[in-house]
Amino acid sequence: MPATEVGNSEDLLTELSAWIKMETPTTDAAAVNKLMDVAEGELTRAGAAITRIPGRNGFGDNLIARTPGIGKPVLVAGHLDTVWAHGTLDTMPYAVNGTKAHGPGIYDMKAGSFLAFHAVRSILLQGIVTPRPIVLLLTPDEEVGSPTSRWLIEQEAAQAAMVLIPEPAGGGGACVTARKGVGRFTMRIEGRGSHAGGAFEDGASAVVELSHQIIGLHRMVDIERGITLNAAPI
């Protein structure tokens, strides 16, 4: 198999830290796109064939980088958005403690996306000929279920020989080969207004009903079967 010079860990950490220090909450398209700009610039300079799909519905852009080659590609798909709001760095700053680096989004999944980006860039810069072309897909909205990138992920995956997802490892460093599915539902509760003192029996509290529904949902949690639910936002 062809191999690249990986580089030293200090240089990699320095570059990764710059990614972590760029806060990219899913809901801020401009912030996510700033990191997309960084990835696009570096991959363009390395010689990748770039396709950038403008964002929509308030989400950031999607970025595709392709290496040369013949045959069905290997698709590597990662995301640059995180669940962390702006200002998280103030209370959770980037830090390296021993062999572990910490910071908002570093585990899920900026470190994985960065390493995928770094690998593709290194392959291109070093002129490595790979058995198959590589397609790197970076998306902006995974943390909310990929509403604007799912079609692109499916399109690229259908054309690929295999798909790699640089998600973090499981317990004890285990290789993750599958993840949970996700469903999102909106529940609407309506009460009936009435005077709480003089006509209590004529009213119906939406807050009390919502409380019952939340408890009912929580009873569906089954850790052993891998079923978890979260009633939020309210």
Domain 9-173, architecture per CATH: 3-Layer(aba) Sandwich (3.40)
Tell me, what's the pLDDT at 5?
87
Q: What is the pTM of this model?
A: 0.85
Domain ranges of the chain: 9-173, 185-234
30-79 confidence digits (pLDDT tens)? 999 999 999 999 999 999 999 999 999 999 999 999 999 999 999 999 99
Tell me, what's the pLDDT at 182?
81
Could you tell me which residues are beta bridge partners of residue 63? Answer: 52, 138
> Which residues are CB-neighbours of 69 under 8 A, at least 6 positions away?
129, 130, 131, 132, 133, 134
Tell me, what's the pLDDT at 118?
97
Helix (H, G, I), strand (E, B) or coil at 224: helix
Tell me, what's the pLDDT at 4?
83
CA 201 to chain centre: 48
Strands of the chain, DSSP E: 49-53, 62-66, 74-79, 95-97, 100-102, 134-139, 162-164
Sign of CA dihedral 210, 212, 215, 216: negative
Tell me, what's the pLDDT at 143?
93
Query: Distance (Å, rounded) from C-alpha 181 to C-alpha 122?
Result: 33
Which segments of the chain have a pLDDT < 50? none
Q: How many CA atoms lie within 13 A of 115 on its CB side?
A: 15
Tell me, what's the pLDDT at 1?
53
